Structure 1
Amino acid sequence: MAKRKRKKQSGVEKNIRTILAIIIALVTLFGGSKIYDLDLFPTETPDNKQTEAIIVKPNDKLNGKIIRISDGDTVVLLDSLGAHHKIRLDGVDCPETGQDFGTKATNFTKDLCIDKHITVDIIGRDQYQRILGVVHADGININEELLKNGLAWRYKYNKSPRYLELEEDARHRKINIWSMKNPVAPWDFRKNN
């Protein structure tokens, strides 16, 4: 009976991944910010597993590329080790899918993020264990761009004066969600639906 050949990682790739995992573990253990460079590895994980193998903490950074846009304020980042991270843009709340301007906010985020180098400044985690972060695409702050273009509310518990200023400016210019007479905040939309 013939033995089946299993597809294996090359020895070099396996060694590089092992060495990087040890370095990341040491950095995590002894503190400091972590930065991961996506250019070192293929874009797919083995067996397409969606894992979050790296423990991230506030003030850390993640680098990679966006592989999925769930909605205007939620994206999935693929890092250099092949781990997928669900990122919730901190401090902003976009219209939901099915809500006025929900699709436009999603497409806006997609246009700014796809095929760009992404850096996420990690703030913490939300109640669903998503990473809360400020997302930068080729240096552009996506969180601020959504507010500036009237495609997000400043999250009701966020105290950032910059975010408040951007939202008020968009309201004053009556663009996108602020062009409507009585826009429904996403947290109210979620509660009622």
Structure 2
Amino acid sequence: MKNNGNFKNAGSSRAKTWRNILLILGAVALIASYIADIRDPHPGMETQDNRPFVEQALKDGFQTLHARVTRVADGDTVYIKDDEGKEARVRLLGIDAPESKQAYGVQSAEHLKRNLRDAEYHVQVIYRGRDQYGRIIGKLVADGKDLNLDQVSTGNAWVYRNYLKDLQPGDKNLYLKAEDNARAKRIGLWADPNPQNPRDWRREHPRN
């Protein structure tokens, strides 16, 4: 009888140990899931929404990457971190927004921030390469919206005509038409009857 009691106690102890292990593993899985949700509460959503843009970009010979915007420098420049943790600066292709110290510069940057906030700062970057400063020159797409085009259509940036040739084939006319519409409606920076082009402002305010 004494031996049977020992066997029962040993079996009960092993069962408790396994239960504890399973509880710990369950807790670890729950914590890992919670952390993943914090990092990306809607995994894959952006890629799904942006798929038409990505497919067209690949057809046009562009590259794409998924990233999270970490900082907005101004209305046409952001800092990103990609899925591998690599950081980069992105200059928005085909547009030229007012500089930070220029008239309407703050409003332009704020408009871009609002769009990024709505997308929880997740973007698809569509690009061909980098410029002489090491910046990625590309288009930001978030929740199925071309943010470069949106900056132009809402009167928060000019079309950068010097670089129209670098746009995707289908974007050139879209961007030009968007600027014409914003100008005609006098929205955003076009509320000023004579807004200063950022290129001219930079010429008058060279960096030391």
Mark yes or no: TM-score above 0.5.
yes
Looking at structure 1, the residues matched to 70 and 83 of structure 2 have their Cα atoms a distance apart, in angstroms, of 13
Looking at structure 1, the residues matched to 63 and 192 of structure 2 have their Cα atoms a distance apart, in angstroms, of 38
Q: CA deviation at 1:86?
A: 0.6
Looking at structure 2, the residues matched to 66 and 162 of structure 1 have their Cα atoms a distance apart, in angstroms, of 25
Looking at structure 2, the residues matched to 82 and 152 of structure 1 have their Cα atoms a distance apart, in angstroms, of 30
Structure 1 residue 174 and structure 2 residue 186: aligned? yes
Give the match's secondary structure for 1:157. helix
Task: Count residues in correspondence.
Answer: 141
Contact 2:70 2:121 in 1 (8 A): no
Give the match's secondary structure for 2:124. strand
Identity of aligned residues (%): 34
Query: Taking structure 1 as the reference length, what is the TM-score of the superposition?
Result: 0.68
Q: CA deviation at 1:95?
A: 0.3
Structure 1 residue 96 and structure 2 residue 99: aligned? yes
Looking at structure 2, the residues matched to 123 and 113 of structure 1 have their Cα atoms a distance apart, in angstroms, of 22
Contact 1:74 1:89 in 2 (8 A): yes
Query: Taking structure 2 as the reference length, what is the TM-score of the superposition?
Result: 0.63
Give the match's secondary structure for 1:98. coil
| CA RMSD, Structure 1 to Structure 2 (Å) | 2.0
- The aligned residue for residue 161 of structure 1 is 173
Q: In proportion to residue count, which structure has more helix?
A: 2
Structure 1 residue 110 and structure 2 residue 110: aligned? no
Between structure 1 and structure 2, the one with the greater Rg is 2
Gaps of 5+ in 2: 1-35, 41-60, 165-171
Q: CA deviation at 1:190?
A: 0.5
- The aligned residue for residue 80 of structure 2 is 77
- The aligned residue for residue 20 of structure 2 is none
* Runs of 4+, deviation exceeding 6 Å: none
- The aligned residue for residue 185 of structure 1 is 197
Looking at structure 1, the residues matched to 128 and 189 of structure 2 have their Cα atoms a distance apart, in angstroms, of 26
Give the match's secondary structure for 2:163. coil
Looking at structure 1, the residues matched to 88 and 144 of structure 2 have their Cα atoms a distance apart, in angstroms, of 20
- The aligned residue for residue 47 of structure 2 is none
Looking at structure 2, the residues matched to 94 and 124 of structure 1 have their Cα atoms a distance apart, in angstroms, of 21
Structure 1 residue 144 and structure 2 residue 144: aligned? no
Write the letter of the residue equivalent to 1:86: R
Q: 1:64 aligns with which of 64, 67, 75?
A: 67
Looking at structure 1, the residues matched to 182 and 62 of structure 2 have their Cα atoms a distance apart, in angstroms, of 29
Q: 2:134 aligns with which of 129, 133, 141?
A: 129
Cα-to-partner distance string for 1:104-131 (whole Å, 9 max, x where unaligned): 1101111111314210101322232200
Looking at structure 2, the residues matched to 141 and 87 of structure 1 have their Cα atoms a distance apart, in angstroms, of 15
Q: CA deviation at 1:156?
A: 2.5
